[in-house]
Amino acid sequence: MISNLNHTKVQSQNLTLIGFGVVLIVVLLTSLSLGAYSIPFPQTLAILFDYIGLKLGTFEVQQANVLLQIRLPRIIMAVVVGGGLGIAGAALQGMFRNPLVEPGLIGVSSGAALFAVIFIVLVPVASSLAWIRPLGLPLFAFVGGLINVLAVYSLSKSQGRNDAATLILAGVAINALTGALIGLVLFFADDSALRNFTFWSLGDLAGANWSKIPVSMILISVPSILLLLNSRQLNALALGEQEAFHMGVNVQRVKIQLLLFSALIVGTGVSMAGMIGFIGLVVPHLIRILFGSDHRLVLPGSFLLGAILLNFADLISRIVVIPAEMPIGVITALIGAPFFIWLIFNLNKSKN
C-alpha cells in the first residue's frame, strides 16, 4: 500500500540499487581478470561464457582453471561475506538505534571467532569428525556470535535505558572477555592452528573453494532475505521501541529475529573468512549519508555495497604484493578508515 505511495521515491530507490548492481558486476569482472596470474579481459569473458555454453573466443586451459577453480569461488565468497557483513551491520545499527554499532563492536564477530577457534581446536582437520566441519563450523560460530550479542544487548538494557555509552561499555567488556578466552583456547592449540588463526583473525578469503560455497551462500543469503522482509519494522524501530509498539509492531519478535539473522550471517562470514572489520560499520553509513535512512533501501544497498567493497579490497590485497597477499582486514581498514573520515567531514560541511 505504502510502496506505491511515492512512485518517484520507489523508482529512485530501484535505480540506486540497479546502479550498485552494475558497479558490482564491473568490480567482479575486473577482479576475475586481475591477479598474480593475469587473464586478459576478453579471455575472462570467453571463459565465463564458455562455462555457460557460449563460444565467444579462445583461451588456455590453465587460464580457465585459475579463473574457475581459484578466483571464481573466492569472488563469490567475497560477495556473500561482504554483502552479509553490510546488511547485518545495517540491521544491527537499526535495531540498536545507534549508528556506532558494528558486528565487531557489539561482540558478534569475537563471539563467532571464539566458537570457531574452539571448534577448530576440538575438531582437527584429520579427525574422524572432520566431515561435520563444513556445516558445523559456521553454525558453531553463529552460536558464539548470538551468545555475545545477547549478552551485550541485555547488559546495555539492564538499567532500563538503551543509551550509547552503556552499549559501548558492554561491547568493550564482552569483547575483552571473549578475546581473553580466545587466547586461552589458543594456548592449548598446536602450531598449525595458531598460524591459521593469525591469518584468519585479520580476515582471509584465500581459503575459499567450491566446497564452501553452498553452505555459506545458504547460511548468508537466506537470513539476508529474511532481514529484508523486516525493513519496514526497522524503520518503525528507528522512532523508538515504544513508538514501534504503538504503531503495531511486535517489537520483541522483530528484535529476536533481527538478532538471530544477523548473528547467523556474521557467524557464517567469520567462520568462512575470518574477522573482517569495518565493512559492517562503514557500508550502512555510506548508504545513509548518500541516500537517506529508509531501511527498504539501506538494507539491500548495504548488501550490494558491502559486496563491492570487500571484492575491491580483496582485489587490492591480491595485486599489491604479488605473489604474496596482504591480509584483507588490513586493506579494508587502510582504505576504508581515511575515506570514511574524509566523507564524514565533507558531508557535514556541505549540510551546514
Partner 1 sequence: MLKASKVHFCVKQRPIVEQISLEINPGEILAVLGPNGAGKSTFFKILSGEIKCKHGNVGYNGHSIESLKPKELAAIRAVMPQHSQVNFPFTVQEVVELGLISTKSNDPVKLIAEVLDATNTSHLKSRVFNSLSGGEKQRVQLSRVLVQIWETKPFPRYLLLDEPTSSLDIAQQHAVLSILQTLKSRNIGILIILHELNLAAQYADKIALIKNGAMTKMGIIEDVLNEKILENVFDHPIRLIQNPATGRLIVASGAHSYSTLATSKQA
| Residues at the site binding partner 1, with contacts judged by CB under 8 A | 1-2, 5-6, 94, 97-99, 232-233, 235-236, 238-240, 242-243, 245-251, 288, 292-294
How many CB atoms neighbour CB 244 within 10 A?
A: 20
| Residue number, 98 or 216, with CB nearest to partner 1 | 98
Min CB(2)–partner 1 separation in Å: 6
Min CB(294)–partner 1 separation in Å: 6
Cβ 184 vs Cβ 202: under 8 Å: no
Q: Which residues contact 102 (CB under 8 A, 6 or more apart)?
A: 89, 92, 93, 277, 278, 280, 281
| Residue number, 95 or 310, with CB nearest to partner 1 | 95
What type of residue is 284? P
| Residue number, 99 or 124, with CB nearest to partner 1 | 99
Min CB(281)–partner 1 separation in Å: 15
| Residue number, 118 or 281, with CB nearest to partner 1 | 281
* CA atoms within 13 A of residue 311's CA, in its CB half-sphere: 29
DSSP 242-274: HHHHHTT--HHHHHHHHHHHHHHHHHHHHHHH-
Identify each DSSP E strand in the chain by its residue range: none
Min CB(286)–partner 1 separation in Å: 13
Q: ω into residue 323 within 30 of 0, thus cis?
A: yes
Place of cell 555475545: 148
| Residue number, 167 or 219, with CB nearest to partner 1 | 167
Min CB(239)–partner 1 separation in Å: 6
Min CB(246)–partner 1 separation in Å: 4
Distance of CA 222 to the CA centre of its chain: 14
| Residue number, 8 or 128, with CB nearest to partner 1 | 8
| Residue number, 159 or 242, with CB nearest to partner 1 | 242
Residue whose C-alpha is closest to residue 13's, from 298, 237, 305: 298
Min CB(10)–partner 1 separation in Å: 12
**Helix, strand, coil content of the chain in percent (nearest 5):** 75, 0, 25
Alpha-carbon distance of 278 to 85, in angstroms, equals 9
